[in-house]
Every structure is written in structure tokens, then in C-alpha cells.
Structure 1
């Protein structure tokens, strides 16, 4: 059985109606919303009984025939969730009903242009460009008993039920953050606080905030930057947050003329600003490092006088060339090709006493979307899990586990024609070690035209899946995912292991 909202208007072209590769194949939009119990899905292997919580993944799933050139990050947000409860599972998927989504549903057509043609907008938009639809299709996290879904460039904080995926509206504090919520906000499982930022194209060019465990905005301050920037992530430790001022930003002259042209400036150092969690712009301690762009962090922590930041550095953020400069789809593919940008694990260390900066690679293999378990966010940690990528494509082919204390690595690959999503590390009930749990992802099998939720033993990913749950339909390739533990579904009730 499946549920379909018959009132949905879907004008996006089918595969035989378009040559856009980002609306075909792995990126083919899904047209149905499901609510399916485990009894209605095929399960290969045994679902662990000590795995309790919800794995939620966001997806750019276009509903309307797009205006102009469609970029894969333009699509409407659609959440996919697999709930685990004492050996039982339930799967759901649902569009995020943002204001933009509902307006287009009412109009029966697309009303906003996408990422590549913001100048073509005819009505007010959202995000740091101010011209795009708020699709809420990039990031997703659960805080204070509700999902928050957002668009990368700055979004209203869209709130959804973690159990039904129903859109509840925007957060009560949304009106207090007019520049929205950028990816990637972080939750400290110890305090229940959510830390976030945004980056408008007008002064002060960044804002920074904290929402407490009761879902009240308790801190929101401007952060003064030299100009408009295009950061993507921030880090947290137990006492600090790490803000990014990177040399990848809009051309100032073009911006004055109303055009939004992003350039990487390899002559300008990257700056990382370390601010006390409840600090202000005058409290930020800025550190300079080699010019770079950073999309996603694995984790940050404090080690004596040092603040340590681990993440994926882009060695070559400049738009890579394509054989045919008129091939717009080829240009998109090259920009998204992690092998062209040589994205790999890297460490930055900032000494809060001496001001010294140390930086060095942790590994040279191309990976992205590094994650750690929620209980170890902001703490010294041992294990990170990142996604491997197919050369020439934005396709995740497997998982690489990094053992940071020893330098050892292990890996698993999904197989020919099989491509995954961002993984999450879910600690098992009563865990006794940092990797005592499961790694979860959705995998699309393009040959069999199926999708499945795949669960690995986090300590032994190389042994292959513990179980595979076949979904009712192949789903669209997606972006970010999150895990919410069973004791956090209704609110920030987590008790960390050392406090038990």
C-alpha cells in the first residue's frame, strides 16, 4: 500500500521528454509519496533490534518543469525517512511544503529560476542570492523534536514532524532571523543546543546564532566580514564555533552591476574564525591558512590549547574546463566531479594561545560528506565515515572509514551500478565504543531500478551489509542525511555515555 497526495501538481518532464541528465537516470524525480510498514517491504538479512531511531535523507526532487537551465540543486526538497524500532521498520517520503513549493502548486508551473540564472527572477526569492525559490532541499537535521530542512544558500527554518514528515511551517524564531538558516547547522547532543549561521550579500555579510534545547533563539549576532562570501559549513567544539571566511566569493564589481559571478581567489588566504559559543564579532579570533574552499567538515574538537578542525579540502576549487564550453550540462558535471576538485580529508589546527596554525592532509583519496556519530560531535573522536565517488560523476560508490588515532582505513563499495547517499553513523542502544553501532544509507541500484536502505556494522563495514530493506520505488539521488536517536525523537533528551 502507498499513499499519494492526488492534489499534487507535477509538470516536471519524464525521462523521455528531456535530455537534461539531472532529470534522468539517478536524478529522475519521484512522483509518489509513500507510507510503508516493514511487512510490506522485502528485508534481506536481519534488522538489528538495538538500532532505534530514524534515518532521514533530503533530496532535490523537482516537481515542476523548470524555468531555464535546471541545476541538480534546484529541485524541491523531498525527505525520505526509515524508522527503526526494536527490529521493525517503517519508510516514508514527502515533499517539504515550503512557501515557494505551495506557490508553484497553486500556479501550476515554476515561478522561480534556478542556481545558474538568478538574474531571470521576476519575484522576490530567498537565500543569499535573493532570487531563488526556497526549496529546503539541501540540509536536514532533527532538533527539539522536529526536523529542520533548509536550502544551502539560506532558507527559512522549515519544521517537519520526524514521524510523519508533515510540514509544520517555519520555526517560531524564523521571524528573528530574516537572512535565514544556511547549511550546515550543528546540534550538540550534550547540551541540546543548535548552532547555525547565514551569509547575506549585504553587510555584515554573516550572522551567527544559537537555539537552546527548548527551541528558543537565545543568541543571534552579526559577524563582520570584508565582503560577501560563499561559505558552506561551520564547526563546533564544546566551547567554540568555527566560522569560515574563504576566498571563494562573488566578484564585487559584478555584484554591484546586479550579476552574481563566483570566483576563487588563490592569492587570498582562507580565514577561520573561532568564537566562543555565545560570543560576538569582537570575540572572534581569526586564523589564516592556505587558500582553499571547504564544503563539508567531519568534526572539530579541543585538545589543550589547540582547536582542531577536520574536513574535506578542495585542492582545485576553480571551475574545471570542459571540452565543449557550450555544453552547460558538462560544465555542471565537471563542477560536481570530486575527482576534478580533488576533495580529500584534511586537518587544520589553531593554537588559541600562540596563534600558530598547522595544516596537513589526513588522506589523499577523493572522498566527501564525512560524518561522525552525533554523540561525538564537538568532542575528541576516533572514527569518521566518508563517501567514495565515481570519477567524472556526482555518484557515491562506497564508504571509507578513517581511524584517526592510528591512520588505518577500511572501506566497502556498493557494487556495479549501485550508488549511495550521505551516510549516518547510528550508535546502538547501550553502546560501549565510538564505533559500536551501525552505518546507514540509501542505495540506488540503476541496473535493477530499485532502491534500498542498507545497514552496516560500523566496526566492520568491510564485511558488507547487516541488512538491506528494499524500498517500494527507486528514489532520486540526494544530498544530506541525518540520524535522530530514539530518545531524541520527541526532544533533546539524550544522555551521553559518560553521564550514564
Structure 2
């Protein structure tokens, strides 16, 4: 035993890394066969849902496994094109910075609070790929550790504004593990050669007790006076809203033990928080209802889906929950057969489920709809016998990455509406912008109208040409949607189209300038649904300067109210929110 152990360590210390082995090589096929045989035996025993950190193997075995990975897996950075420079990570500031450069004027009735945005900021220089004897595996563009970027608005007794900027990593369990060791530890597990992904799953689990990193990079939300960062591959992390420090994982006092949607919704009327947990193994989807005070899980139900749908959202109305079961799926059996782990299949069924409050799987009424991929719901509400669902719908998926051979940018989304008749089962579908082809995503509405009928919404507008040379879309402007007004331009040309196309107003940025994390801020004392502002992180690729813009939603097409220059670059990210806070309570 001593001899074989020493021999293994000697072999493991070889500095030369393996080069990529082609799929046609005999060595690759033998490796593939061995991995498939091993995984088929072990995979059913691997807890693919998120679990607490635990010691899976002994310290000696862990060192052996680490040595194996160090010797036979070569980590490399995924290169960025010049046009992708603002997707590169930045360093933590270490302390908050006073912002002094403001063009324009912050409105007097703008609320005190913090505008905060989440987004990926990969450790160790960027997203990684690995090469090994088993093939190649890679991170996809939505991965990377979460970093919070926050802009604080504090008003003095004299009415003047103090603006402070800070950024900080969300310190998940896996973030702490990799930063302590000061190198990449988790092997990518989402995209690549099937045997490499399967082997990565197994090695990550054996070494760390989890199959992938907890990224917490997608959204920020508030519930019962506490603030959380989240991505749907793990439970949320509670954060200190003033310092951005990560406090603890939030499992609802031990009652929630699975992934947590990036877009939980507060139920109108009760203030309860509705969440959805999607996993790669059964139960594929579980709905949870958290009390208004955030202290207990008051309802939990397995939706009994027969596939793992990569569902990013859940909708609520006054009486129902809305579930999107679309054909973007996570399939371990497909991976075992040599196919991709995540795949969009437009030939499979798509349906929307309407579930009674506190119901179970048997209470869901399903509506078959045209196959599509919808990551974001604009809003859902009841209108007579109909449940109306509006969202940003595409005909293909951006995850794991778009099929660039498709025509007409099918992976980009447009605003869409489904009307689901609860009495007759009839479905009415329509593109809200009619024949006007405009791609939009990252919708936002006034928070008081979640789950009830609303007149207005806002989205980020895709610049399709800016994203034509790479996978990730860029957003060159903002749109304001008027759901109860038709498009006057279309009404002059075609009466039928005018009935289908809603009115849209635009706020476009300068050339080569793009936004992320846009959020609606209601005006203090405002009486109308659209009385407020949009705030957004905006970056100029010509000057490499990042700003926060404040846009008056009543004068949406007009000049930006204020442009606040951020003292360091802010990479493009995902979702943002404005949180009113009382600074004297700090």
C-alpha cells in the first residue's frame, strides 16, 4: 500500500498538463466507456440537490482526489473578445467610496435607499474550462460568483444628497472554500463532453459534498425587513444591506432544503413569499409558501412534474400560482446517453399551470401552449374567468448558449401574452408588439401591482447587432409598455395590427452604451402606477466609464434626469432592485 501511494503521488506531481483528446481517439472512447459504467452505478447515490457541507471522504482520500484533479485536469481561462471587455470581473473595493461626479440633478422627491444589482464576477480572472482524458467541460455565461454593486442615496436635513458606492462578493460556502485555497477547485459541470461532465459531477461531490458551486449571482430581494442574494442552484444568502456583508444561508429555519427560485413573489393580500425549487432529480419542482414574517414555511407541495424544467420564474395572482413548464430541460439520463445536460427541444410540449393557493399537484389546471422558452414573467393576474400571463418569450434558449445558426435571433425574447380561461380551458396567445420586431427582456413593474392587473411595464431593449458576434445579449436602451393603449403608428397602416400591438415608448442610450439591472423606483407620495423613475447601471464601451442613470418614467423619451459616474468599472450583470432604507437605523 505504501508503495502504490508513493507511486501515485509521484505521478500526480507531473507538471505537464494533458492536451485535449479528440472524440475520435481510442483513449477517449475507453475513458468514456469507463466513466459511463462508473456513473451509472454511483449517480443514483449522489445527492444532486443542494446539501450542507459534509465530509464525503477521509482527509487522506481527499488529498488523493485533489492530486488526481491537479494532475489530470487542466484549467484554462475562457477568452473574451474585445467587444466583451465589460463582462470581465473586477476587484472588490474594500470600502465604500463617496461619489462626487453627478451630471444633472437627483430629484428632491427621490426616495432615500439603495439601488443594488447582482451579477457574475468570476474568481481567478474569469470563467473556466477544463481539459482532461475524459474530454472538455466549461462554465457557461450565466456562471461566476455573485458580486453586489450598490449605490446609496442619503438626503441631509437641508435636502442635499450624499451618494456612496460599494461592491462586494457574496460569500457563499463555495466562495469561501476556493478563496481559502486561492485557486479554482470545482470542475465545470454544465457544458462540454458528456464523460467529462459526468466525471466532474462525481469528483466535485466526492471532494466537496456538492456537485457545483453556489454562485448567488442573479437577483436581490427583500422579505420581512431582511435582504437576500440568490441564484436558483442554492438557497439564498442573507446580506447586511448597509455593508453588503454576507450573514448566513437562509433555509427558513431548516424547513427549506432545496434550490430557491431567483424570482420569488410576494402574494397580493397576504404578503407571503412564494418560491419554487427546481432540481435535476425527483421531485423536479416543489412550491413553497413562506410566512409574511419570514419565520416559517406554511405550505409546501411537490408539483409532480415528469421532467426537470429549467424554470427561472413563478407567477402569482390573488387566488393562484402560475407555473411555466417549458421544454428547456435538465436531463441526467440524456447526459448518460452522451447528450447535453441542458437542452431546449422545440419538438417537446410546453404548458402553463394554474394552481390554487395552498393547493397540491392535483389542483393544477394545465394549459397547452406553443413551444417556447420564457425566463421572465412581466406579471400575472386574474381578469374575469381568465388568468393573464405576460412574459418575455423566445423560440429558442440563451442557456446554455444560443444556436448561432438559427435565423431571426430566435433565442432573443419578445413581449408576449397568454390568456388562460379557467372555465373553458381555452388559450389565447399573442405577441404584444405585433409585427414590430423588438427584442426585450429583464422586465420590471411597480411592486405594488405584482399579481394584480397593471397598465405599465418596463424592459431592457436588446441591441441584436451588438450581440451578433458572441453569445450574450447587450441592452442598448429601455422600453415603457402601455398595455391598455394601442400603437398609433400601426393603426395608421393596418387596423388589425393596431389591435394587437400595444403602445411602446423608448429611451435609447448613446452608441456602444449598454445597461443592466434596471429597476423601477416609485415616487414618494406618487398616486399613479407609472409615477417614478427607472434606475440602471449603464456602461460606455467607448470611454470605459460606468454610470447610474435616473430616468423619469412620466417623461420617458426625454433627457436623463441624472447621470452618476461610478468611481470604478461595473461589469454587466443581471437583476437590480431599489430598496428604501432608513439610514438612521444603521
Same fold (TM > 0.5): yes
Match of 1:240 among 310, 314, 320: 320
Q: Which has the higher contact order (CA 8 A, sep 6+)?
A: 1
User: Within 5 Å, which residues of 2 pair with 1:10-49?
Assistant: 19-21=79-81, 25-33=85-93, 35-36=95-96, 38=98, 40-49=99-108
Q: Which runs of 5+ in 1 are unaligned?
A: 1-16, 321-330, 491-500
1:362 match:
432
What CA distance in whole angstroms lies between the structure 2 residues aligned with 1:125 and 1:369? 37
8 Å CA contact retained: 2:402, 2:411? no
Seen in structure 2, the aligned counterparts of structure 1 residues 334 and 475 have a Cα distance that, compared at 3 Å, is farther
8 Å CA contact retained: 2:118, 2:146? yes
What CA distance in whole angstroms lies between the structure 1 residues aligned with 2:313 and 2:537? 23
What CA distance in whole angstroms lies between the structure 2 residues aligned with 1:34 and 1:486? 22
2:173 match:
99
Cα deviation, residue 240, structure 1? 1.3
1:348 match:
418
What CA distance in whole angstroms lies between the structure 1 residues aligned with 2:122 and 2:96? 22
2:519 match:
424
Seen in structure 2, the aligned counterparts of structure 1 residues 188 and 96 have a Cα distance that, compared at 3 Å, is same
Instruction: Deviation per CA, 1:257-297: give whole Å up to 9, x if none.
Output: 58653333333331111112322222111111111111111
- Count matched residues: 460
8 Å CA contact retained: 2:371, 2:395? no
2:572 match:
477
Cα deviation, residue 256, structure 1? 4.8
TM-score (norm 2): 0.73
Q: Which runs of 5+ in 2 are unaligned?
A: 1-76, 131-137, 156-160, 486-501
Match of 1:54 among 111, 114, 127: 114
8 Å CA contact retained: 2:280, 2:331? no
Q: Secondary structure at the match of 2:419?
A: strand
8 Å CA contact retained: 1:426, 1:485? no
Cα deviation, residue 138, structure 1? 1.4
Q: Secondary structure at the match of 1:463?
A: coil
8 Å CA contact retained: 1:35, 1:92? yes
Whether 2:250 is the aligned partner of 1:180: answer no
User: If each structure's helix is expressed as a fraction of its own residues, which one has the higher value?
Assistant: 2
Match of 2:460 among 355, 377, 387: 387
RMSD: 2.9
Whether 2:152 is the aligned partner of 1:83: answer yes
8 Å CA contact retained: 1:366, 1:389? yes
What CA distance in whole angstroms lies between the structure 1 residues aligned with 2:457 and 2:321? 20
Q: Secondary structure at the match of 1:405?
A: strand
Instruction: Deviation per CA, 1:103-144: give whole Å up to 9, x if none.
Output: 001111111133325432422399xxx622011011221222
What CA distance in whole angstroms lies between the structure 2 residues aligned with 1:269 and 1:67? 33
Mean Cα deviation higher: 277-286 or 294-303: 277-286
What CA distance in whole angstroms lies between the structure 2 residues aligned with 1:489 and 1:313? 43
Match of 1:453 among 545, 548, 552: 548
Instruction: Deviation per CA, 1:351-373: give whole Å up to 9, x if none.
Output: 11222111111014111111111
User: Within 5 Å, which residues of 2 pair with 1:48-447?
Assistant: 48-52=107-111, 53-65=113-125, 66-68=128-130, 69-86=138-155, 87-114=161-188, 115-117=190-192, 118-119=197-198, 120-121=200-201, 122-124=203-205, 131-152=211-232, 154-173=233-252, 175-188=254-267, 190-216=269-295, 217-251=297-331, 253-257=333-337, 260-317=340-397, 334=404, 339-363=409-433, 364-391=437-464, 392=468, 393-406=472-485, 407-447=502-542
Mean Cα deviation higher: 416-425 or 258-267: 258-267
2:23 match:
none
Seen in structure 2, the aligned counterparts of structure 1 residues 360 and 184 have a Cα distance that, compared at 3 Å, is same
What CA distance in whole angstroms lies between the structure 2 residues aligned with 1:191 and 1:202? 32
Cα deviation, residue 225, structure 1? 0.5
Cα deviation, residue 200, structure 1? 1.2
**Which entry has the higher C-alpha Rg, 1 or 2?**
2
Instruction: Deviation per CA, 1:67-103: give whole Å up to 9, x if none.
Output: 5334332211001112223343322211000001000
Mean Cα deviation higher: 262-271 or 222-231: 262-271
8 Å CA contact retained: 1:145, 1:489? no
What CA distance in whole angstroms lies between the structure 2 residues aligned with 1:416 and 1:372? 26
Name segments (4+ residues, structure 1) moved above 6 Å: 335-338, 487-490
8 Å CA contact retained: 2:311, 2:324? yes
Mean Cα deviation higher: 393-402 or 257-266: 257-266
Q: Secondary structure at the match of 2:281?
A: coil
Cα deviation, residue 147, structure 1? 2.1
